[in-house]
Amino acid sequence: MERTLAWDGSAVVAVDQCALPHARVTLRLTTPDEVIDAIKRLAIRGAPAIGVAGALGVALSAHLNDGDEDAVRADARRIADARPTAVNLSWAVRRVLERLPEGTKALLDEALLMVDEDVRTNRAMAALAAETVLRLTDRRPLRILTHCNTGSLATVAIGTALGGIKALAESGHVAEVIADETRPLLQGARLTAWELAEAGIPYRLCVDSAGPAAIATGLVDVVMVGADRITANGDVANKIGTYSLAVAAARSGIPFVVVAPESTVDESIPDGSGIVIEQRAAEEVTAFGGSQVALPGTPVFNPAFDVTPNDLVTAIVTERRVIEQRPGAELAEVARGLYRR
Contacting residue, 60, 148, 250, 317, with ligand MRU by CB under 6 A: 148
Contacts of 37 (CB under 8 A, 6+ apart): 43
End-to-end CA distance of the chain: 37
Which residue number, 20 or 108, has a Cβ lying nearer to ligand MRU? 20
Q: How far is the CB of 281 from ligand MRU (least distance, A)?
A: 13
**Dist. CA 327–CA 338, nearest whole Å:** 17
Instruction: Please tell me whether residue 5 binds ligand MRU under the rule CB under 6 A.
Output: no
The letter for the amino acid at 29 is L
**Dist. CA 268–CA 134, nearest whole Å:** 32
Instruction: Please tell me whether residue 188 binds ligand MRU under the rule CB under 6 A.
Output: no
Instruction: Please tell me whether residue 45 binds ligand MRU under the rule CB under 6 A.
Output: yes
Which residue number, 17 or 61, has a Cβ lying nearer to ligand MRU? 17
Site string for ligand MRU, 72-111 (x = CB under 6 A): --------------x-------------------------
Contacts of 341 (CB under 8 A, 6+ apart): none
Contacting residue, 5, 20, 48, 59, with ligand MRU by CB under 6 A: 48
Among the listed ranges 89-97, 110-118, 119-127, 153-161, the one in contact with ligand MRU (CB under 6 A) is: 153-161
The closest of 22, 34, 27 to 4, measured between CA atoms, is: 27
**Residue 267, CA distances (Å) to 55, 171, 340 in order:** 21, 34, 9
Q: How far is the CB of 333 from ligand MRU (least distance, A)?
A: 25
The site that binds ligand MRU (CB under 6 A) totals a number of residues, namely 19
Q: Which residues are annotated as a binding site?
A: 45-47, 83, 187, 238-239
Which residue number, 137 or 318, has a Cβ lying nearer to ligand MRU? 318
Q: How far is the CB of 65 from ligand MRU (least distance, A)?
A: 28
Instruction: Please tell me whether residue 196 binds ligand MRU under the rule CB under 6 A.
Output: no
Q: Which residues are annotated as a binding site for substrate?
A: 45-47, 83, 187, 238-239
Neighbouring CB atoms inside 10 A of 190's CB total 19
Contacting residue, 160, 231, 233, 325, with ligand MRU by CB under 6 A: 160
Site string for ligand MRU, 216-255 (x = CB under 6 A): ----------xxx---------xx----------------
| Residue sitting closest to ligand MRU (CB) | 226
Contacting residue, 154, 177, 215, 335, with ligand MRU by CB under 6 A: 154
In this structure, the strands spanning 315-317 and 305-308 are unpaired
Which residue number, 38 or 107, has a Cβ lying nearer to ligand MRU? 38
Which of the following is catalytic: 208, 221, 228, 306? 228
Neighbouring CB atoms inside 10 A of 120's CB total 12
Which residue number, 74 or 127, has a Cβ lying nearer to ligand MRU? 127
Instruction: Please tell me whether residue 47 binds ligand MRU under the rule CB under 6 A.
Output: yes
Instruction: Please tell me whether residue 150 binds ligand MRU under the rule CB under 6 A.
Output: yes
Catalytic annotation present for 33: no
Active site residues: 228
Contact residues for ligand MRU (CB under 6 A)?
42, 45-48, 86, 148, 150, 154-155, 159-160, 187, 226-228, 238-239, 304
